Amino acid sequence: MGPIGRAAITYAVYFVAIGASWSYLPVYYRDLGLDLAAIGLLAAMSSAIGLLAAPAWGALADRYPRSRLGLPAAAFVAAAGAFGLASAGTLPQIATWVGLLALGSAGIGPVLDARVLDLLGAAQARYGQIRAIGSAAFVVVTWLVGVLLDREGSGALFLVFVPALAVTALVALSVPRCGGGRRPGTWHRLGAFLRSPGMVVFLVGALLTWTLLSAANGFYSIQVIVLGGTAQMVGLAWVAGAVVEVPVMWAYPRLAARFGAGRLLVAGAAILPVRAALAAVSPDAPWLVAISPLQGLGFALFLVGGVGFVSSRAPAGLAAMAQGIFSASWGLGAILGTGLGGIVAGSTSIAFLFGAAAVGGVVAAAVVGLAARSSGRPGAAAVPAELSQLVPEEVHR
């Protein structure tokens, strides 16, 4: 099997872990007796650690461009955190293991994304197709784990979560690196990257988008239960969104060629507040399941478009750190979204929180649109002059 195939398998196994945990950890925390504010603060703490750890893992990967150890190391750290969380009983114990889990998890996504983009070379438009394999795994596992949890209780998620992270580490060892020797001038390259057209504005827009998405998503599973749903219905809500992600990511190269990557990026940011607005007026759990495909559509367009936006402006030798910065915007957004979201939901209602996320999401989409316009024509992968000698030739073709 070639390098791309091995990277695709890594995505698949990693998203088995995500499918077993993402939808169900809030329910697990609730079953442990934690209130909404505590759940929100745990998520915020996890995101705060990821905010610092993601760029650090990326910088480490860029510093040693021939080493394969960074990605497996991150997955092993995450597996250790998940293993400890499975038996934690008190809030301090839970917070400790959640922190270790967050530290490791922060290094998996952005470093894997950067490595795949590196392996694809001139065919980077295929990134969405490789990433779609992860979403497909998420769909299957999320549903099956929901069935398992209805029978065995929410703690059973760790029977899948921990082994999947361990296998991710083992499979990641087989994914090769394409980097050359160490490259000097990291801070100069980072400054040039941030000064590239529309980059700072985009990161602000991404921060707003992730903040409001995290505020809604952090309490979506709980709202399904509150409105009379089961654990299987929680899983179905996330499966319904992920099912849409797969064809959208797979078709992304054709969609970008037809409509422009910039327009797709803005469309993704604009669709997410629509889902939040509809969730705010949800009368029951089936309604929340029915509108979940909007989450998948918006998320797929924004994530793949955002990774491409960042990749097109990342100089050689800074690819992983650049993706780590994009991931950090997600981390900071999750801090703000889940932390403040827990306070808002606890003092008002989850429905009110969804409504506020919808209003703010419109503003976020407008900022992303400004970034897309300032970077040139829609879909353009503009490269600033000061980076023209630093970006791989494939970007220019």
380, pLDDT greater than 90:
no
Q: What is the pLDDT of residue 184?
A: 46
- pLDDT tens per residue, range 108-119: 988 888 788 778
Share of the chain above pLDDT 70, in %: 88
Q: What is the pLDDT of residue 189?
A: 65
Q: Are the C-beta atoms of 357 and 278 separated by less than 8 Å? A: no
SS (H, E, C) the chain: CCHHHHHHHHHHHHHHHHHHHCCCHHHHHHHCCCCHHHHHHHHHHHHHHHHHHHHHHHHHHHHCCCCCCHHHHHHHHHHHHHHHHCCCCCHHHHHHHHHHHHHHHCCCHHHHHHHHHHHHHHHHHHHHHHHHHHHHHHHHHHHHHHHHHHHHCHHHHHHHHHHHHHHHHHHHCCCCCCCCCCCCCHHHHHHHHHCCCCHHHHHHHHHHHHHHHHHHHCCHHHHHHHCCCCHHHHHHHHHHHHHHHHHHHHHHHHHHHHHCHHHHHHHHHHHHHHHHHHHHCCCCHHHHHHCHHHHHHHHHHHHHHHHHHHHCCCCCCCHHHHHHHHHHHHHHHHHHHHHHHHHHHHHCCHHHHHHHHHHHHHHHHHHHHHHHHHCCCCCCCCCCHHHCCCCCHHHHC
What's the whole-model pTM score?
A: 0.69
219, pLDDT greater than 90:
no
Q: How long a stretch of residues is the chain?
A: 397
- pLDDT tens per residue, range 138-157: 878 888 888 898 888 889 99
Q: What is the pLDDT of residue 239?
A: 82
- pLDDT tens per residue, range 303-352: 989 988 888 777 666 667 777 788 778 778 877 887 788 888 888 888 99
Mean pLDDT of 369-376: 78
User: Given the structure tokens 């929340």, which residue do they identify?
Assistant: 288
Share of the chain above pLDDT 90, in %: 29
Q: What is the pLDDT of residue 52?
A: 84
Tell me which of 385 and 81 has the higher pLDDT: 81
Mean pLDDT of 364-383: 68
267, pLDDT greater than 90:
yes
Q: What is the mean pLDDT of the chain?
A: 82
- pLDDT tens per residue, range 91-104: 899 999 999 999 99
231, pLDDT greater than 90:
no
Q: What's the chain's Rg over C-alpha atoms?
A: 20
Q: What is the pLDDT of residue 395?
A: 29
182, pLDDT greater than 60:
no
C-alpha distances out from residue 3 to 11, 113, 119, 166, 172, Å: 13, 14, 7, 20, 11
- pLDDT tens per residue, range 283-302: 999 999 999 999 999 999 99
Tell me which of 353 and 119 has the higher pLDDT: 353
CA distance 238 to 145: 12
381, pLDDT greater than 70:
no
396, pLDDT greater than 70:
no
Return the closest-CA partner of residue 78 out of 174, 171, 162, 173. Answer: 162
Tell me which of 14 and 134 has the higher pLDDT: 14
Q: Are the C-beta atoms of 74 and 104 separated by less than 8 Å? A: yes
For the record, the structure tokens of 298 come out as 């918006």
Tell me which of 374 and 20 has the higher pLDDT: 20
All domains in the chain, ordered by first residue: 3-178+185-396 (1.20.1250.20)
- The distance of Cα 396 from the centroid of its chain, to the nearest Å, equals 27
Q: Are the C-beta atoms of 21 and 101 separated by less than 8 Å? A: no
Tell me which of 374 and 266 has the higher pLDDT: 266
Amino acid letter at 217?
N
178, pLDDT greater than 70:
no
Q: What is the pLDDT of residue 70?
A: 83
Q: What is the pLDDT of residue 390?
A: 32
76, pLDDT greater than 90:
yes
20, pLDDT greater than 50:
yes
Query: pLDDT band for position 378 (50/70/90)?
Result: very low
User: Given the structure tokens 């903040």, which residue do they identify?
Assistant: 211
Q: What is the pLDDT of residue 317?
A: 66
Provide the 10 A C-beta neighbour count for residue 151: 9
Q: Are the C-beta atoms of 157 and 46 separated by less than 8 Å? A: no
